[in-house]
Structure 1
Amino acid sequence: MINEYPPEYYELNLNINIKNVVEGTVASKLSGFFFIGEDRFVFSALAFGRIGGQNVNVKISKSSSNEIKKIGYDPEIILQIVQKKIIEGEITILDAKKKKNV
């Protein structure tokens, strides 16, 4: 099953941060970032939530994918974990208004 990852992936503390959401009638566009250790990775995503349940398609750049490989992880597995966390709501939504007031 897809949720079966090598043991080292279970110990990762991926904090998923959503910076921007553009809601549509069928899908929403998300942008944000996550960390692996001290390394920050930017992503974009399309989130669908209508027929058939929740689904999220997360994309990262080729250079981010290569950087994830360099630190010893499989980018595809990392993206699966990020997708799962977004679907399950294990995210932080950053409020741009609060940043401007600080």
Structure 2
Amino acid sequence: MPVISVDWWKGNDRARRQELVGELTACVSRIAGCPEDAVTVIVRDVDPDHWGKGGRLADELVPGPADEPAPTPAAERPSTYATVPPAPQDAGGQKP
């Protein structure tokens, strides 16, 4: 069934990897409609000097917010999904 591969920078501890594997497994199981034991997650720790970003090796870059570990577990963070506003309509309720 589903196989998920995650490459991320080296330095995350076992607890963070366990949280990642658990969250991804639950999400994919729910969406795919398969049992959790059918989901495989492969986590690869990559040294920043083996990771290119923007034409440079990542160990030369200053980490940005997306590169830093999350401050709180995923279950405690609010959703970051943006909502799409409804399409504009004219006075008669018709879309332009």
TM (norm. structure 2) is 0.31
Q: Which has the larger radius of gyration?
A: 2
TM (norm. structure 1) is 0.30
Whose strand proportion is higher, 1 or 2?
A: 1
